[in-house]
Amino acid sequence: MSVLFDAAYAGLNAIFVTVPITVVVAMVSAAMIHAVAKAVVALGLGKVDAEPASGPVLVDDETAIAVAVAVAKRYHDTH
C-alpha cells in the first residue's frame, strides 16, 4: 500500500512542476498572441492583402497559358 502512496506522491511532485510550467508557457503564448495581433494591426500589415503581390506568385492555369502563348508569339515574331 505504501508503495502505491509513494508512487502517487511522486506523481503529485511531478504535477507541482508541470502545472506552473504549463500555465506560464500558455499565458506567455496568450500574451504573445495578443501582442502580435495588436502589432500587426498597428503596423498596417492587413493592407498587404489588398495590394497586388510583387515577385513570384502562383498563377492559375489560364493566366499561365496566356503568358506562355504571349512569350511564344513574341519569340516567333523576333526570330
Partner 1 sequence: MLNIQSVLDVLQGPQTLIHSFQLDPALAVTRIVLIVVGLTLMYLGRRGVLEAVIMVPLGLGMATVNAAIMFFDPLNLHQGLGTLFVESQAGVRGDSVQQAADIMTVLQIDWLQPIYTFTFSNGLIACLVFMGIGSLLDIGFILQRPYTSMILALFAELGTFITLPVAMAFGFDGNEAASIAIIGGADGPMVLFASLNLAKNLFVPITVVAYIYLGLCYGGYPYLIKYLVPKNLRAIPMQPPKDHHQYTPFEKMVVATILCVLLSFLLPVAAPLFFSLFFGIVIRESGIKGFQELLSNTVLYASTMFLGLMLGVLCDANTILDPQVLPLLLLGCFALLFAGIGGLIGGYVLWYFSGGKINPVVGIAGVSCVPTTAKVAQKVVYADNPHAVIMPAALGASICGVITSAIITGVYITLFGKPPV
Binding site for partner 1 (CB under 8 A): 4-5, 7-12, 14-15, 17-19, 21-23, 25-34, 36-37, 40-41, 45-46, 48-49, 58
Q: In the complex with partner 1, which residue's Cβ is closer, 47 or 76?
A: 47
CB of 12 to partner 1, least distance (A): 5
- The Cα 27–Cα 19 span in angstroms is 12
Please give the DSSP secondary-structure letter assigned to residue 53.
Answer: P
- Among 70, 74, 52, 54, smallest CA distance to 62 is for 70
CB of 27 to partner 1, least distance (A): 6
